[in-house]
Structure 1
Amino acid sequence: MTRICTLLILLTLLGFASACSVSVRPVDDEASPTAAAGVAGRGGVVRSTPAAASVTPQPSGDTPVATEVSETPTPTTAGEVPTLPPPPTARPMPTMPPNPAPSPSPTPTARPEPTAPPPVTPTPAGPPVCAELPVRGFGLVWHDQPAVARQIGCPLEPEVGIAARVQPYTNGLMVWLDIPHGASGVDSVPWVITLAGNEAARHRVANAGQDWDPEAAAPTGAFAWVWENVYTDRERLGEATAAYWATDAALQRFERGTMLWLREPGTGVPTVYVIEADLSVSAYGQFQSFVDRSFGLY
């Protein structure tokens, strides 16, 4: 161990002495880069490493010199304080318009349906005002049926009781009226009235030469004359269904009509026939019939 330490010390000292004994000769600028100086030492010759010549570049007049520019502008006029440009104003970023919230659609208001006014019910007018009024069965129908009263108007003459003969046919009746002489407003020639459907017709048939047979079912007397001579009535009436029978009747003239009362053949029901024509003047007219509610008053 002691030997090793001694050896290390000697080596250290030897290296230090060698370093101190080496001298380096300066190299001229013109010396060749291959020149070398030998250095004698204990350990041999030490060659020096040639140093490269350093050339310091000289500035020429053409070399541009960097000029430092001051940010502060030089005033052009003596005593004038330079004005700095205002800083740029920051431009606001464009703002997108907000999306409007969808407005709820208004709920349509139901329009009330127009209410139709209630129908006006016309007040039926009463019968006309007349100087003379019909009585009994004629009077009841005239007052109870205002439309009938307005249609036929006021009475022209009082009612007249008449002997009658009535014969039924398939589609209606044939009525013979023995008009009395001197009846007010009515001629004295017998009438034959045919009633079929809703049509009435009046025929004047003289009594002379008429042969009545109360037992025959076929038309006889004045009925036979109408049957044989008035084709339209025969077509409307059809065939006779029974022999004629004698009954009472009544007749009254009105301004625009005629009322005839008689008993229905077979049933004897008192019936009022309202003919929309004054049979003393007109031979044809429509008719309607009503049951006489005053039965028993005749």
Structure 2
Amino acid sequence: MQSDSDRTGLAIGLSLVALLLFDAMGLIIKHLSEHYSPAELSAYRNFFGLVPSAIALWSSRAWHAKGRQLWMRQWKVGCLRGMITTLAQFCFYMSLGLLPFATAATIGYADALFMTALAVPLLGEKVGKARWLAVGIGFAGVVMIMGPGSQSFTPAALLPLVAAFCYALSGVLARRMDADVPSPLINLYGTATSVVGASLLTLALGGFSGIRGPGDLGWIVAMGMFGGSAVLLLVISFRMTQQANLAPFHYFGILFAFVLGWIFYDEAPVDDLMPGAVLVAAGGLLIVWRERQLRRARLWGARGPHTRI
């Protein structure tokens, strides 16, 4: 039997692989964006992403224990998450075709900052001064990367920011779902709805252009499988350890995006990313640190100073 430390180490490893798969998916999207619309790519990504999503659901012990039910009480919220994710993907995929890969990816990491802010009106959480300071630091980094008012500023930089907001909104809504609903089932609802939403958006914007050949088909399948597998690995890693143990490694994705963008597209936007990227990561890590402190305080309060250890 694995020890807790072994399981945490494995969970961290799986989450890092998931980040690499997400970035690999982004590289493919950037490659394909020259010939396919963002809505079209979103539809393809979600369609082929249904396979890993279904595997995640079938692997869920909680789902089997509840009689393999596919219906859930809050199905409207589950579908709403899928529609919001469709918008997020549309904006982010468009940004990948217009911005350096690492720039779009780094701005997208503002989702953790948005989640903290959205938790106040949507979840009724109390956010103290330390976490608001963290949000402010992170957003200052985002503004520095976007560079409003500078010659290098482009309105396309707003696209990954809108995507980050939508991804955060989808994440916060997931936390409003019933606690006894298996996470893979929530994910499957969202992915299936995104297939429909992205397909309708594609038709509204002119329709599918048609896959150009076997090569592009291979890239499209890989795109969907990479994205879906990344979600599957994250679900597994979140079930192996506390999310707080994984959150600090979330920002390795910025480094991965920079390296991959440099290797595959000869992009090295150091001047655009620094020091903004450091502030984005610092804001997110400060939120993680503060949440850990609050969790420890709650545990100590529940146990009480009189409790035997």
TM (norm. structure 1) is: 0.22
Q: If each structure's helix is expressed as a fraction of its own residues, which one has the higher value?
A: 2
Q: If each structure's strand is expressed as a fraction of its own residues, which one has the higher value?
A: 1
TM (norm. structure 2) is: 0.22
Between 1 and 2, higher relative CO (CA 8 Å, sep ≥ 6) is seen in 2
Question: Which protein shows a greater Rg?
Answer: 1
